[in-house]
Structure 1
Amino acid sequence: GIVLELLKEAMVSKLGDTKGFLIDGYPQELKDAEEFESKIGEPKLVLCLDCSAETVNSQNSENTETTEDRIESYYQASNPLIAYYESKTQLCKVN
């Protein structure tokens, strides 16, 4: 996808200047992770910032129902991704 191509281009342009990369918010779904690995490579470490739905709601000024819908969508998309990286022992959960 376009996001991956832009990410790859940015990473390649900085290869000689860095020891690594911290990528925030990507991949969001398992298919994104698989595409990332096939086109760029496997990450050495994946951090998962894990907090409760109550914590997210307390930090948000939006409608609680809207926030709960977003949280549910997040878990549906991210749980397979989290399991994938757990199975590869690349996942570090922080809560």
Structure 2
Amino acid sequence: MSEIVRAPEGTIVIFVLGGPGSGKGTQCNKIVEDFGFVHLSAGDLLREEQRNPNSKDGDLINSYIKDGQIVPMEITVKLLSKKMRESKSNVFLIDGFPRKLDQAEYFGKNVVEPCLILFLDCDKEVMKQRLLKRGETSGRIDDNIETIEKRFKVFKEESLPVVEHYEKEEKVRKIPCNESVDEVYLKIRPIIEGLNK
């Protein structure tokens, strides 16, 4: 796998953070449709790498995901950096990353600092129901009640401090997202529009 490369000057990155099932991927798809961002899902990239028979990291990724744990950041940042270079774009939505404070610092130092963090704030019970519903058809090894509970615990202990870190830098926009997809997007859209002003 190619190494981590710093993003060119003028690259715009928005981190989309939120608990498992808060709607990150769904909202990113709507932003991509309206604003032309390239959407990179850390989870999707890891699952893709996990299925790649030539990957030297596949088995390692598999064991972390299956256990609801966070994959070592060097692997995730390498995958994100590679996709950013391949895309030839300079505007990115990265969802499900960073999941720990050291990942945030590592990405900022080695790739680029984010200009904005969208934090999708959702009740645990709502997220659980969404994930169980998705699990009926997703085929994902982490959409089961045992792993979901582990993921909630990891999110609370390790990912919420990332949001708090960026709040100190006044980069976080908190979006309540228990409502429908369209209602949540109505709150997000003006924030993205405001970036160009």
Q: TM-score range by the shorter chain?
A: 0.7 to 0.9
Identity within the alignment, %: 34
Query: Residue 37 and residue 74 in structure 1: after superposition, are their counterparts in 2 closer, same or farther (change >3 A)?
Result: same
Cα contact 2:107–2:113 (8 A) shared by 1: yes
The structure where strand makes up a greater share of residues is 2
Residue equivalent to 1:38:
109
Task: Show structure 1 runs of 5+ residues with no match.
Answer: none
How far residue 93 of structure 1 moved from its aligned partner, in angstroms, is 1.1
> How many pairs are equivalent?
92
- Three-state SS of the structure 2 residue aligned to 1:60 is helix
- Correspondent of 1:81 among 162, 165, 177: 162
Task: Show structure 2 runs of 5+ residues with no match.
Answer: 1-73, 133-143, 177-197
Alpha-carbon distance in structure 2 between the residues aligned to 1:91 and 1:4: 21
Q: Give the counterpart letter for 1:5 in structure 2.
A: K
Residue 23 (str. 1) matches residue 23 (str. 2): no
Q: Give the counterpart letter for 1:7 in structure 2.
A: L
Cα contact 2:98–2:159 (8 A) shared by 1: no
The structure having more radius of gyration, on CA atoms, is 2
TM-score, normalisation: structure 2: 0.43
Residue equivalent to 1:55:
126
Residue 94 (str. 1) matches residue 167 (str. 2): no
Cα contact 1:47–1:94 (8 A) shared by 2: yes
The structure showing larger relative contact order (alpha-carbon pairs under 8 Å, at least 6 residues apart) is: 1
Cα contact 2:100–2:159 (8 A) shared by 1: yes
Q: Give the counterpart letter for 2:162 in structure 1.
A: L
**Root mean square deviation, CA, Å:** 1.8
How far residue 20 of structure 1 moved from its aligned partner, in angstroms, is 0.7
TM-score, normalisation: structure 1: 0.82
